[in-house]
Amino acid sequence: MESKNNKLLEKRMLNSKINVRNPIVMAPMTTFSGNDDGTVSKAELDYYKVRAKSVGMVITATTYVIPSGKGFKGQFAAYDDSFLDSLKELAETIKNEGAVAILQIFHAGRMALPDEIPTGQTISASAVAAERPGAMTPRAMTEEEIQDIIKAFGKTTELAIKAGFDGVEIHGANTYLLQQFFSPHSNRREDNWGGNLERRMNFPLAVIEEVKKVVKEKAGNDFIVGYRFSPEEIENPGITLEDTLSFIDVLSDKGLSYLHASLSDFWQGSMRDKSNVEPIITKILNQIHGRVPLIGVGSIYTADDAIKALDAGVEFLSLGREIIMEPDWMTKVEMGKSSEIRTNLKKSDRELLKIPEPLWNAIMNTQGWFPIVE
């Protein structure tokens, strides 16, 4: 094994006692491949099994905490006890390979699929449509609905505990409901849940509080609670980096196990201010100031890419597209074969790489998403 890669093999600790065998994390990526009844499919279990065998931690594709929150076709569900056996299978599949198993939980809000939710009417902080073609205008949530969804995050956390997961990641990124409450674009409320920056934090903070309460009652200090966030929005008004740094300052003192940035490129500067080229990740790390571990992400392909990113100061590094293309990424690093890491997809690779067919079709039909060769 190349000595320069030793940094990729160093163990990490979460919650001061949970051993993670290395800093490489499988990023949460939807598979579109769940069964029609909302359970995890055999193809998904096979997909996770081959990718969990050497990474330190696996964060699953996101699952929805209440029927109104479904954001993808073929998304597996986790909103009541009928899904418990399915969730147990997923947790066991990941943990049996030695990785820490994290269930990502969310509500899609105005990004939910009208045809896939009970009423056909999306909901959000306010009745403001997303800036995308054909977007439905959501209905502003009532106080009762807000409280119900907060409780639903707690219920799904309890299911994750019963199923044997090591933790949950609260999905507050990628334009979904928690981000919608934080965003001045989607949140025009003037009550306790909106109106200024501090009140726009209240909904995600209430979800965190509920999740942590359930964890304290049902699991104790060993259970991981992470939070994922997107640093900026391009909409006006939209989330600014200054907004996010203020939020991170609050989140860093909430007793979370980790924070997880959502970035397309680890080293990217501001999307909103193109003249501001200082890496966002550097500003985030400076704001956290060592109070909580940070998972970085974004266009990391090779071992050298990963080492450079870890040297920036993040404790963990999540790989998304690269782990889809190369399930044996960490194994090849461990064996001193990092030069053999696959960094593109061949059109004949699907069965070899255990990629579920719906995910494969999405990859093949989305130009520019993955590097594809004949």
- Whether 64 is a known active-site residue: answer no
What contacts 339, CB < 8 A, 6 or more positions away?
none
Terminal Cα-to-Cα distance of the chain (whole angstroms): 31
Cis peptide before 133 (omega within 30 of 0): no
Angle, vertex CA 79, rays to CA 74 and CA 80, nearest 5? 120
- Which of 62, 19, 58 minimizes the C-alpha distance to 330? 58
> Which three-class secondary structure string do you get for the chain?
CCHHHHHHHCCEEECCCEEECCCEEECCCCCCCCCCCCCCCHHHHHHHHHHHCCCCEEECCCEECCHHHCCCCCCCECCCHHHHHHHHHHHHHHHCCCCEEEEEEECCHHHCCHHHCCCCCCEECCCCCCCCCCCCCCEECCHHHHHHHHHHHHHHHHHHHHHCCCEEEEEECCCCHHHHHHCCCCCCCCCCCCCCHHHHCHHHHHHHHHHHHHHHHHCCCCCEEEEEECCCCCCCCCCCHHHHHHHHHHHCCCCCCEEEECCCCCCCCCCCCCCCCCCHHHHHHHHHCCCCCEEEECCCCCHHHHHHHHHCCCCEEEECHHHHHCCCHHHHHHCCCHHHCCCCEECCCCCCCCCCHHHHHHHHHCCCCCCEEC
Burial label for 127, CB within 10 Å (0-12, 13-18, 19+), is middle
The one catalytic residue among 48, 64, 176, 227: 176
Residue tagged 């409320």 (tokens): 189
Catalytic residue IDs: 176
